[in-house]
Each structure stands twice: as structure tokens, then as C-alpha cells.
């Protein structure tokens, strides 16, 4: 039985002195060095008396050690739970409690804040810093660089990734080894990844895109990565000539295009640019081709499913579409209320089924039942249509969701907080167009009769409670919210009214 995910992504590179990671400062790590690091960490985790199936919650900056922690969890059969580095202590408290994490790993600068949280939820706490130092790596240093992988099957859970819900509570998507492997192996074929590829990796590694789509594919194909801590335009321009592929959210592409140093010459060695996590504007696709001669390949996925569709590697990559269902994925467009399959071309709910689809939400059977049908189809909450050539178009969302720079923001979570503030009767959070992030949240506040809510104090409370990327970029006072005859807030009217806020004149 072995440990399929470890064996097929990591174990295959044992003893290889081929390049795996190269860092912004020119340092490199071979596959063998990376596996040694991972095995030492796996030994350190085992020394903390963790058992296969335990959850390891990690809020750590991107570094080779952070990636080795993922490998170590797979090797030791632990369930990896990566967390956005922007989350506040209040947000982390929920994830730690809900997942029942046995171990929390954080940056030393957050240790004081998280110590009481970990204690309350009976989790151990270790540190791992951006430079690779910390109590976890100190433990790992004295360990052996070999670790017998825990026996696992493709049905065992490998990761728990939290995704927010429309009710304001985050849900842990349970992903098995088989979910991750099947998707990685399909994408290696579909996008023609080989061991000669060098991926320019500037995405965070706490989400599906940077961790599974990017890293798993490079591992499965035996290629290497230029592994940058974050998207920095100067680094991207400096290092692109050494790369062959890049994956990014649309903001990466608009930022590159916004800089005159980004030229056709610079991208000459590149064979593939991939975009996803948010809609890529057709105009960005066109401008990118004009500037570089490359047609961006857009694909579509979710935390719950990894990747579902992709534009073709060979063939027409159509702007404004997300291409065709991947070979192992069934995709249908259904009536949002009845679930009936709609005729070709009609807009409806996108549902997907395949070996990539998750197992449900951690300890939330009702939420799982509401979104994952008994026949295996997952109801994505995205609205789309399939055109006469078979291309899938995402045309909107049935779920109330804002995507800012590739991060999902659920208005409900912010509204619950705003509604609870002194002097606020009710609120509505809407997404408005933003030139850099695509969309950004704006909060509309309705005062209680005779009250004037203190906007500055409210903004301070929001800062304390929520990660920076969720902060409304503006809070606006209004007398009342527009409602339809059923009493439902008409957010579309609010979006129309405020769409100009961040648009360039
Ligand atoms: C950073 N900030 C953001 C933000 N990222 N605010 C809103 N939305 C974001 N996405 C904050 C910063 O904290 C900062 O706050 C201010 O905005 C400006 O920061 P910046 O320096 O301009 O941002 P930067 O650090 O460069 O980050 C922007 C970014 C980054 C787009 C490069 O957000 C990013 O890497 N996004 C990728 C997200 C991703 O991987 N999504 C995949 C999800 S998986 P202040 O206070 O300093 O002004 C998924 C499935 C699938 O969706 O299909 O892939
Ligand atoms: P997440 O929950 O962070 O995984 O985000 C998944 C959501 O991102 C999907 O439900 C879509 O709404 C959106 N998404 C991902 N890729 C694309 C894309 N190429 N075009 C439009 N939306 C996308």
C-alpha cells in the first residue's frame, strides 16, 4: 500500500542531486536536500507524539522549510492545514478549534498571541519563521534525515483547507491523497510539464493554487521552481528569463503589463503562462498577447475540487472562457433550483464530479449534504454556460462572494461583524471593481434611528478581527438598503451605484 502521495510526488526524487528550488538570492536546493529537510521535520513531528490522521495547522511564511513541512506531513500521514498568513488571532482561534488541530505552527512574532489559543484548544505550539529558523527546525536539526513514510491509501485525508461559507463560518474541505494526486497527474499531462520546466512561483503556498496546482505539478513532473516569498515585480522581471512557466492570479498579469520593463524579450524562454483563481479580463488576455506573443492559458478550479477545466495547451485558448472539462472531470450546467441539466448554451449552476472532488466539509454533514450530491456531483456555486464548441464560460456566482487579488472574501462574515457595532442597524458588503485586485469590498452601514456610528472606531474593530485583505476599502453610511418586494437586499443596485469608487478617471 505504501503512501501514494509521498511515493509519487516526493519519494521518486530520493537521492537525486537535481535542482528543485532556487531562491530569490540565488541559493538552490536539490531534490535530495529538500527530502532530507522534510524527513528531519517528519522525525521532529513524530517526536511530538503526533499520530497519522492528526491535524497540523500552519500559519507560516513561504520558505523552503514551510514547503518541507507539507512534505513532512504527507510522509508522516498527518493532515496538513495551511492558513493564510494574514489571519488574525481571532480568525485562527476558530480554525484551531474547529479542526481539533494537535499542533499549531506559527511565526515567532505571533507566538505570544497564539499561546493561549493553543492552550485552550489543547494543541501544541511550535514556531517556524520566514528565514527557516524556529523551534520546529531546531528540533529537526538533531533528527535523522530518513523517515519511513506512514502507510496511507489514496482514500486517506492529506489536507484540510478552509474555505469561507455564505453563512459566515469557514468550512474545512477534506482532500484525500487521491484527490491531490489525480489532479496533479492530469495537469502534468494536460499542460505538458516535464523535468526541464522551471516554474516561476510567486503565489502563496497556503492555498490550492500555489500549493497543489503549482507545487504538486512540479513535483510530479520532476521540474524545478524559482521559489519567491511573494509577488515582487522587480524579482519577477529579473528572474523570468530563467523560467519556462508561470502560474498566477489575474493581478499578476495586470501588474506585469503595467510595467514597461515587461517585454517580449523577457518572456522569450517562457513556454506557458497560466491564470486562475479569479476571472481574467478578456482585455488582459489580448494585451498580454500583443505585448509578449503568448496566449495566457486560463483554467478554473476551487478549493473543494482542485482544477476542473482548462483551456487547451494545443488549440485555441479563448479569452473570457475557462476551456474544457479536464479528462477525468464530468461537468454539467444545471437549473439552480431544480438541479435539472440545462440545454447547451443556457446559463446555470456549474456542477462537477471526478477523482479530484473532495470528501466533504470537516465535521459538517449538513453543509456537505447541501453541496455534494449523493451521485458525487459538487455544486460549485458558480454560474456558467457551455458554448457550442464546448468551452465553459463562468458568467457569475450564485454565492455571495468577492474575489480580491485571488483571495475569497465572504460578505456575510464582514456583515456579521459590522451589524454588531454600536449604532449600526444593519449592513451590506459589496464587491466593486478595483484596477489591481479585480474586486474589492465596500461596506454600507445603516445607522440605528437617531444614531451616528463612529466609522473610525468600526474600522479599528474590523482591523482587529479580520485579515487585512478582507477589510472594506471604504465604509459608507446610507439611510436604508435597497430591497425588493420580498425584502431581499438588492446588492446589484448597490454595486451599480458604487462601481465607480476605485475606477481610474
Ligand atoms: C494583499 N493585500 C490585499 C491582497 N493581498 N488586499 C486585498 N486583496 C488581496 N489579494 C493587502 C496587503 O496586506 C496590503 O495592505 C495591501 O493590500 C497592498 O498590498 P500589496 O503589497 O499591493 O499586495 P501584495 O502583497 O503584492 O499581494 C497582492 C497579491 C497577493 C495579488 C500578489 O494577494 C497574492 O499573491 N494573491 C494570490 C492569492 C491566491 O493564491 N489565490 C489562490 C486561491 S486558490 P496594506 O495595509 O499594507 O495596504 C483558488 C482556487 C483556484 O482560488 O482556482 O486557484
Ligand atoms: P476558492 O474557494 O478560493 O478555491 O475559490 C474558488 C472560486 O474562484 C471559484 O468558485 C470561482 O468563483 C473562482 N475562480 C477560480 N478560477 C476562476 C476563473 N478562471 N475564472 C473565474 N472564476 C474563477
Ligand 2 pocket, 322 CB below 6 A? yes
Ligand positioned closest to the Cα atom of 431: 1
Tens-place pLDDT, residues 350-398? 999 999 999 999 999 999 999 999 999 999 999 999 999 999 999 999 9
What pLDDT shows up at residue 164?
Answer: 81
What pLDDT shows up at residue 61?
Answer: 98
Give me the DSSP letters along 395-456. EEESS--EEETTEEE-HHHHHHHHHTSTTEEEEEEEEEEETTTEEEEEEEEEEPTT----HH
Ligand 2 pocket mutation, candidates 408, 411, 413, criterion most atoms within 8 A of CB = 408
Tens-place pLDDT, residues 100-123? 999 999 999 999 999 999 999 999
- DSSP-derived 3-state class of residue 200: strand
Ligand 2 pocket, 372 CB below 6 A? no
What is residue 341's DSSP assignment?
B
Contact 446, 480 (CB under 8 A): yes
What pLDDT shows up at residue 505?
Answer: 55
Place of cell 476551456: 323
Write out residues in the chain with pLDDT < 50, as ranges.
none
Burial status of residue 326 (CB atoms within 10 A of its CB: 0-12, 13-18, 19 or more): buried
Taking the centre of ligand 1 as the mean of its atom positions, its distance from the CA of residue 283, in whole angstroms, is: 21
Ligand 2 pocket, 382 CB below 6 A? yes
Tell me the three cell numbers of residue 399: 454565492
Ligand 1 pocket mutation, candidates 215, 468, 502, criterion most atoms within 8 A of CB = 468
What domains does the chain contain, in order, with CATH numbers?
Answer: 4-190 (3.40.50.12780), 403-497 (3.30.300.30)
Which atom of ligand 2 approaches the CA of 322 most closely?
19
Contact 62, 143 (CB under 8 A): no
Identify any residues that bridge with 430 across adjacent strands, giving them in sequence order.
442
Ligand 2 pocket, 206 CB below 6 A? no
Give me the DSSP letters along 448-480. PTT----HHHHHHHHHHHS-GGGS-SEEEE-S-
Ligand 1 pocket mutation, candidates 203, 407, 429, 440, criterion most atoms within 8 A of CB = 407
What pLDDT shows up at residue 321?
Answer: 98
Taking the centre of ligand 1 as the mean of its atom positions, its distance from the CA of residue 406, in whole angstroms, is: 7
DSSP H or E run through 158: strand 157-163
Amino acid at each position: 500500500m505504501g503512501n501514494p502521495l509521498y511515493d509519487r510526488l516526493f519519494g521518486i526524487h530520493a537521492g537525486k542531486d537535481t535542482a528543485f528550488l532556487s531562491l530569490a538570492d540565488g541559493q538552490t536546493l536539490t531534490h535530495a536536500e529538500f527530502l532530507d529537510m522534510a524527513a528531519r521535520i517528519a522525525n521532529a513531528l513524530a517526536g511530538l507524539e503526533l499520530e497519522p490522521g492528526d491535524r497540523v495547522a500552519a500559519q507560516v511564511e513561504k520558505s523552503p522549510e514551510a514547503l518541507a513541512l507539507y512534505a513532512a506531513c504527507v510522509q508522516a500521514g498527518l493532515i496538513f492545514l495551511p492558513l493564510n498568513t494574514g489571519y488574525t488571532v481571532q480568525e485562527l482561534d476558530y480554525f484551531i478549534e474547529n479542526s481539533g488541530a494537535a499542533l499549531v505552527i506559527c511565526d515567532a512574532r505571533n507566538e505570544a498571541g497564539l499561546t493561549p489559543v493553543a492552550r485552550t484548544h489543547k494543541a501544541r505550539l511550535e514556531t517556524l519563521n520566514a528565514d527557516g529558523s524556529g523551534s520546529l527546525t531546531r528540533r529537526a536539526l538533531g533528527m535523522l534525515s530518513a523517515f519511513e513514510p506512514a502507510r496511507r491509501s489514496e482514500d486517506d485525508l492529506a489536507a484540510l483547507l478552509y474555505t469561507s461559507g455564505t453563512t459566515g463560518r469557514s468550512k474545512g474541505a477534506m482532500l484525500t491523497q487521491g484527490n491531490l494526486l489525480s489532479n496533479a497527474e492530469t495537469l502534468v499531462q494536460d499542460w505538458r510539464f516535464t523535468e526541464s520546466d522551471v516554474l516561476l512561483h510567486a503565489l502563496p503556498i497556503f492555498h490550492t493554487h500555489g500549493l497543489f496546482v503549482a507545487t504538486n505539478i512540479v513535483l510530479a513532473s520532476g521540474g524545478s521552481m524559482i521559489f519567491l516569498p511573494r509577488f515582487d515585480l522587480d524579482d519577477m522581471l529579473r528572474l523570468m528569463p530563467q523560467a519556462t512557466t508561470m502560474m498566477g492570479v489575474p493581478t499578476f498579469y495586470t501588474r506585469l503589463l503595467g510595467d514597461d520593463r515587461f517585454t517580449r524579450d523577457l518572456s522569450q524562454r517562457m513556454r506557458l503562462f497560466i491564470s486562475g483563481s479569479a476571472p481574467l479580463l478578456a482585455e488582459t488576455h489580448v494585451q498580454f498577447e500583443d505585448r509578449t506573443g503568448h496566449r495566457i492559458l486560463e483554467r478554473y478550479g476551487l478549493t473543494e475540487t482542485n482544477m476542473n477545466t482548462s483551456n487547451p495547451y494545443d488549440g485555441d485558448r479563448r479569452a473570457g472562457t475557462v476551456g474544457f472539462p479536464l479528462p477525468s472531470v464530468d461537468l454539467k450546467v444545471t437549473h439552480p433550483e431544480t438541479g435539472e441539466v440545462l440545454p447547451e448554451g443556457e446559463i446555470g449552476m456549474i456542477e462537477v464530479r471526478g477523482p479530484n472532488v473532495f470528501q466533504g466539509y470537516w465535521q459538517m454533514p449538513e453543509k456537505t449534504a447541501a453541496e455534494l450530491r449523493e451521485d458525487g456531483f459538487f455544486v460549485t456555486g458558480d454560474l456558467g454556460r457551455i458554448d457550442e464548441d464546448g468551452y465553459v464560460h463562468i458568467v457569475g456566482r450564485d454565492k455571495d462572494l468577492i474575489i480580491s487579488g485571488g483571495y475569497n472574501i465572504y460578505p456575510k462574515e464582514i456583515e456579521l461583524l459590522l451589524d454588531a457595532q454600536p449604532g449600526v442597524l444593519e449592513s451590506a458588503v459589496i464587491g466593486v471593481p478595483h484596477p489591481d485586485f479585480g474586486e474589492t469590498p465596500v461596506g454600507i452601514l445603516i445607522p440605528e434611528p437617531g444614531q451616528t456610528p463612529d466609522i473610525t472606531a468600526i474600522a479599528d474593530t474590523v482591523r482587529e478581527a479580520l485579515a487585512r485583505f478582507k477589510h472594506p476599502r471604504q465604509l459608507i453610511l446610507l439611510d436604508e438598503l435597497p430591497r425588493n418586494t420580498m425584502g431581499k437586499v438588492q446588492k446589484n443596485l448597490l454595486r451599480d451605484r458604487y462601481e465607480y469608487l476605485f475606477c481610474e478617471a
